[in-house]
Amino acid sequence: MTGKPLIVITGPTSVGKTGYSVKIAQAIGGEILGADSRQIYRYMDIGTAKPTDSERAMIKHHLIDLVLPDENLSLAQYQRAATEVIADLHQRGQIPILVGGTAQYLTAISEGWTIPEVPPNEQIRAELEQFAAEHGSQALFARLHAVDPQAAAKIEHHQNVRRVVRALEVYLETGTPISDLQRRVPPDYTILTYVLTMARERLYQRADHRVDQMIEAGFLGEVRRLLTMGYDRSLPSMSGLGYAQLAAHLLDGIGLDQAIQETKLATHAYIRRQYTWFRKYNQNHQWRDVEQSTPDDLIAEIRQWL
């Protein structure tokens, strides 16, 4: 092994990443870093499927509950926090295990992105969002493609309005395309990446069951509390799976059954997008079907790798 070890456990939502990672961390002397763009928010526990109190008691988890729901955590800030935790773990002789399904978080760490430190410009951001609302996301995407085709190609889809807005915001602020500011400096890690998977229809069933479990655990009450605390549903944090749909139930009067069904369908769509990314960035990744490989199987492989 030439560099310091970093284990990455990723895969689509509901596949069982947390359970696998806790058992692996216990077996090899590791600690877990969250790579989930929803679990960074405080007060959003049930709908983001954060590790339970008992799981956190067994293994220390980092990069969870970092900001309030109305606060922004940039990719650069996340990357800086993650690299600091990884360095600390290596110094203490612990194995860092990066766990989650947020593509930007995972690639920023594993590929060593150099991310432009351009603070948000709320006026520019509001103008771009208004443009998208009036003219459509495709028109906004065309604006980005005209000034930074590389960034547009990386984002791939016009419906990813937040990333399109950010790329245009950086260009308008600096006069430089964000793709010119984003460079890769490979980190001094030797990385072993596992992509957990299972048959798609079985995964959809599992995701649907998890939505039902979240409702039973008080997901609706969690959304109600967030709204009561003053966190507007227009916030990026409140656009997550289930939060937007349950807010529509509470504020717009759509039926609860409809909100639950829409959450399940939105989760299926998210799973499909995750698999698109996993297939694109499949180099040197180890795919493991969770219905055929146990955590003990991965532990044996990891011990040999270490």
CATH number (domain holding residue 268): 1.10.287.890
pTM of the model: 0.83
pLDDT in tens, 26-47: 999 999 999 999 999 999 999 9
Examine the pLDDT at 100 and tell me if it is beyond 80. yes
- Tokens 């990066």 correspond to 98
Do residues 207 and 263 share a domain? yes
Examine the pLDDT at 117 and tell me if it is beyond 80. no
Do residues 155 and 229 share a domain? no
pLDDT at 283: 63
pLDDT in tens, 264-287: 999 999 999 999 888 877 667 899
Report how far Cα 83 is from the mean position of its chain's Cα atoms: 17
Mutual orientation of helices 256-280 and 200-216 as an angle, nearest 10°?
140
* Other C-beta atoms lying within 10 Å of the C-beta of residue 35: 27
CA distances from 196 to 13, 17, 34, 173, 244 (A): 10, 7, 16, 40, 27
pLDDT at 260: 98
Examine the pLDDT at 23 and tell me if it is beyond 90. yes
Do residues 168 and 53 share a domain? no
When mean pLDDT is compared across 84-93, 168-177, 226-235, 268-277, the lowest value belongs to 168-177
Do residues 226 and 288 share a domain? no
CATH number (domain holding residue 130): 1.10.20.140
Mean pLDDT of 118-143: 90
Residues in the chain: 306
Do residues 30 and 83 share a domain? yes
Do residues 210 and 232 share a domain? yes
**Residues in a beta bridge with 59:** none
Helix, strand, or coil here: 176? coil
Q: Where residue 69 falls among pLDDT bands split at 50, 70, 90?
A: very high
Distance CA 83, CA 81 (A): 6
DSSP annotation string for 127-148: HHHHHHHHH-HHHHHHHHHHH-
Examine the pLDDT at 109 and tell me if it is beyond 70. yes
Do residues 109 and 138 share a domain? no
Distance CA 272, CA 17 (A): 17
pLDDT at 159: 78
Distance CA 276, CA 280 (A): 6
CATH number (domain holding residue 22): 3.40.50.300
Q: Are 24 and 192 in contact (CB under 8 A)?
A: no
Helix, strand, or coil here: 121? coil
Which of 177 and 91 is assigned the larger pLDDT?
91
pLDDT at 63: 98
- Structural domain harbouring 31: 4-115+184-199+278-305
Do residues 26 and 105 share a domain? yes
DSSP state of 64: S
Q: Are 9 and 21 in contact (CB under 8 A)?
A: yes
pLDDT in tens, 215-237: 999 999 999 999 999 999 999 99
Examine the pLDDT at 11 and tell me if it is beyond 70. yes
Do residues 83 and 47 share a domain? yes
Do residues 172 and 296 share a domain? no
Q: Are 194 and 286 in contact (CB under 8 A)?
A: yes
Helix, strand, or coil here: 286? strand
CA distances from 288 to 32, 235, 247, 255 (A): 19, 36, 36, 38
Q: How many domains does the chain have?
A: 3
- Tokens 């069982």 correspond to 16
Helix, strand, or coil here: 17? helix
Do residues 60 and 191 share a domain? yes
Do residues 189 and 247 share a domain? no
pLDDT at 282: 63
